[in-house]
């Protein structure tokens, strides 16, 4: 069992903290936001993530996890500190490292103070700092330098990228495909690897830069698969072929795989666009060509507007039309709307003069903060569908697949547009609806 400090309690930090507590460690979760800290200490996750509340409650009960706003209090107790703060995109596509640089400086000072205060103590353990945030190659080395400038004592620096997906984050953390730990010193990499002792998956040990690049390359490849599927979808529509049948046929090939070949309204969320843009920026800065990744981003920019095109194909002008929008989150099982294709669709529809009535099982509150009163928010799919001229499904909540046909019958019009693959298109068609889906015949 080890004592861990986790800096930042967002999607990655809180899941990391709760899962390490579950694996038997003692965890101090640190955040600047005292509202989040209070919620966590009350056993409530500030974000919606399946299974996280239960995990938090269990850890709190065993005194295995505590949240605090005091970094120094946490660092005093801990032998490992994970940096899990945000690394957002800057305007030019580069990564804004100001938040993680500030957190690293604060951590350096806290480590310095801990060292000074425990000078007489014989038991002075080496502290290992681990970057878990997604950062461009070379960043962990510069953070290492920052910590040294803050006069931190002897410490080790590792990079341990996180591959969790929102909506299945707890499961992804506890049962990942692999764990990657990069570092300059073997003993630190081994020590971080041992923290995951209960997780029986391959442990990939690399240098700092390689670990950083593995994360960027993985997200860029997944984004490429999605944009490839989307380009294929647009072609399939012209041929009268269903792209999902094509993806199924391709996916059986083990060299290809079925995952992430789902065509639709495009990828969103806090990671893909930010990470691909950052890799493009960093590569171009060093004189590398980025033709494939440029195309991946280009396809994705346009993809949400395919939903609007399909609505126009079915309805003509959208001005004054009432559209039921099913989904606001960037994916199912999350309340996260960062860079959500659904939000882009909502904005485009409002711009065209449509009245949008949206329903999302979890993300309405966050969407309201982003879109305000530009759209209406329904309390159920049935309420959204009532009197709508058309329906557009943009988030793949499985519950949308269970909406009874009787609810669609409350619509004024008969057009159903789908930007995912959730609805039963055959049943809708049989019931007299006009079904138009991205890449669907
Ligand atoms: N969200 C994902 O699915 C995901 C997956 C893999 C990797 N990542 C990466 O993990 C990192 C974190 O992402 P996130 O989505 O969890 O971010 P987030 O914005 O949800 O959370 C970041 C948290 O850090 C806190 N914070 C900022 N500065 C701090 C400081 N100095 N001290 C203490 N707390 C501080 C913020 O208050 C916030 O609660 C990013 O680099 C992201 O790219 C995210």
Domain ranges of the chain: 3-206, 208-441
Q: Is residue 363 predicted with pLDDT exceeding 80? A: yes
Tokens at 390, concatenated: 């058309």
- Mean of pLDDT values over 60-82: 96
Closest residue by CA, ligand 1 atom 12: 86
Note the pLDDT of residue 274.
97
> Which token pair is 69?
């706003």
Atom 43 of ligand 1: nearest residue by CA position:
134
pLDDT band at 120 (very low <50, low <70, confident <90, very high): low
Residue minimizing CA distance to atom 36 of ligand 1: 8
* Burial readout 29-39 (b: 16 or more C-beta within 10 A, e: otherwise): bbbbeeebbeb
Q: Let me know: does 233 contact 439? Beta carbons within 8 Å.
A: yes
pLDDT score, position 117: 82
Average pLDDT, integer, range 74-85? 96
Residue 122 reports pLDDT greater than 50: no
Residue 364 exposure: Cα atoms within 13 Å on the Cβ side = 16
Q: Same fold for the domain at 3-206 and the one at 208-441?
A: yes
Centroid of ligand 1 to alpha carbon of 10 (angstroms): 5
Q: What is the number of the ligand 1 atom nearest to the C-alpha of 132?
A: 10
How do residues 380-420 score in pLDDT, each as one tens digit?
999 999 999 999 999 999 999 999 999 999 999 999 999 99
Say what the pLDDT of residue 114 is: 87
Closest atom, ligand 1, to C-alpha of 102: 31
Checking if the pLDDT of 345 tops 60, the result is yes
Q: Which of 29, 236, 271, 391 is catalytic?
A: 271
In 3D space, the residue among 316, 326, 393 whose CA is nearest the CA of residue 353 turns out to be 316
Determine the Cα angle at 411 with ends 409 and 413, to 5°.
Answer: 110
Centre of ligand 1 from the C-alpha of residue 85, in Å: 4
pLDDT band for position 121 (cuts 50, 70, 90): low
Quick check: 160 pLDDT over 60? yes
Say whether pLDDT at 358 is over 80.
yes
Test site for ligand 1: of 8, 67, 105, most ligand atoms within 8 A of the Cβ: 8
The CA angle 66-70-74, to the nearest 5 degrees, is 55
Residues framing ligand 1 (Cβ under 6 A) = 7-13, 30-33, 36, 84-87, 99, 102-103, 106, 133-134, 162, 164, 166, 270-271
The tokens for 181 are 């730990």
- The verdict on whether 271 is a catalytic residue reads yes
pLDDT over 60 (residue 123): no
- Per-residue pLDDT band for 152 (boundaries 50, 70, 90) equals confident
Confidence of residue 28 (pLDDT cuts 50, 70, 90): very high
Select from 5, 6, 11, 160 the residue to mutate for testing ligand 1; criterion: most ligand atoms less than 8 Å from CB.
Answer: 11
Write down the pTM of the prediction: 0.94
pLDDT class for 441, splitting at 50, 70, 90? confident
Mean pLDDT of 148-161: 89
| pLDDT value of residue 68 | 98
Domain 3-206: CATH superfamily is NAD(P)-binding Rossmann-like Domain (3.40.50.720)
Can you tell me the distance from the alpha carbon of 130 to that of 281, in angstroms, rounded to the nearest whole number? 24
CA gap 94, 108 in Å, rounded = 25
Using the mean position of ligand 1's atoms as its centre, give its distance from the Cα of residue 12 in Å.
Answer: 6
pLDDT band at 25 (very low <50, low <70, confident <90, very high): very high
- Rounded CA-CA distance 244/438 in Å is 10
Q: Report the share of the chain in percent with pLDDT over 70.
A: 99
Cα distance between residue 39 and residue 342, in whole Å: 28
pLDDT tens by residue, 214-254? 999 999 999 999 999 999 999 999 999 999 999 999 999 99
Cα separation, 277 vs 291, in Å, equals 12
What are the C-alpha distances in Å from 98 to residues 69, 90, 279?
A: 19, 10, 18
Atom 30 (ligand 1) nearest CA: 103
Decide which of 3.40.50.720, 3.40.1190.20, 1.20.1600.10, 3.30.2320.50 is the CATH code for 208-441: 3.40.50.720
Nearest atom in ligand 1 to 13's CA: 16
CA of 118 to the centre of ligand 1 (A): 30
- Quickly state the pLDDT bin for 119 (edges 50, 70, 90): low
- 184-220 confidence digits (pLDDT tens): 999 999 999 999 998 999 999 999 999 999 999 999 9
Mean pLDDT score, 268-292: 97
Average pLDDT of the chain, as a whole number: 95
């Amino acid at each position: 069992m080890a004592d861990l400090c986790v800096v930042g309690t967002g999607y990655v930090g809180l899941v990391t903290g709760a899962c390490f507590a579950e694996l038997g460690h003692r965890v101090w979760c640190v955040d600047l936001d005292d509202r989040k800290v209070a919620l966590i200490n009350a056993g409530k996750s500030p974000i919606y993530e399946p299974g996280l509340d239960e995990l938090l409650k269990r850890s709190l009960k065993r005194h295995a996890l505590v949240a605090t706003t005091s970094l120094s209090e946490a660092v005093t107790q801990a032998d490992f500190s994970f940096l899990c703060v945000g690394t957002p995109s800057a305007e030019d596509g580069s990564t804004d490292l100001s938040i993680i640089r500030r957190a690293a400086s604060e951590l350096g000072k806290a480590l310095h103070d801990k060292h000074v205060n425990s000078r007489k103590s014989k038991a002075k353990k080496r502290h290992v700092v681990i970057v878990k945030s997604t950062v461009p190659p070379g960043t962990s080395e510069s953070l290492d330098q920052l910590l040294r400038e803050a006069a931190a004592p002897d410490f080790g620096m590792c990079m341990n990228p996180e591959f969790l997906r929102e909506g299945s984050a707890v499961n992804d953390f506890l049962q990942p495909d692999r764990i990657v730990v990069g570092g300059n010193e073997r003993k630190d990499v081994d020590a971080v690897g041992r923290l995951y002792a209960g997780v029986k998956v391959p442990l990939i040990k690399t240098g700092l830069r390689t670990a950083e690049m593995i994360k960027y390359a993985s997200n860029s490849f997944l984004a490429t698969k999605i944009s490839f599927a989307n380009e294929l979808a647009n072609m399939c529509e012209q041929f009268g072929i269903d792209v999902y049948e094509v993806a199924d046929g391709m996916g059986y090939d083990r060299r290809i795989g079925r995952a992430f070949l789902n065509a639709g309204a495009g990828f969103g969320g806090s990671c893909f666009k930010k990470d691909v843009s950052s890799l493009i920026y960093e590569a171009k800065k060093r004189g590398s060509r980025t033709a494939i990744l440029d195309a991946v981003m280009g396809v994705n920019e346009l993809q949400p507007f395919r939903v609007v095109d399909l609505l126009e194909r079915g309805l003509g002008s959208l001005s004054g039309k009432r559209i039921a929008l099913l989904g606001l989150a960037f994916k199912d099982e999350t309340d996260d709307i960062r860079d959500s294709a659904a939000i882009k669709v909502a904005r485009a529809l409002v711009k065209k003069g449509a009245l949008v009535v949206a329903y999302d099982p979890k993300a309405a509150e966050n969407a309201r903060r982003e879109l305000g009163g530009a759209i209406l928010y329904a309390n159920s799919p049935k309420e959204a569908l009532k009197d709508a001229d058309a329906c557009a499904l943009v988030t793949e909540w499985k519950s949308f697949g269970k909406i009874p046909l009787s609810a669609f019958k409350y619509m004024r019009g008969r057009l159903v547009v789908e930007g995912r693959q959730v609805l039963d298109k055959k049943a809708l068609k049989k019931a007299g609806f006009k079904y138009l889906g991205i890449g669907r015949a």
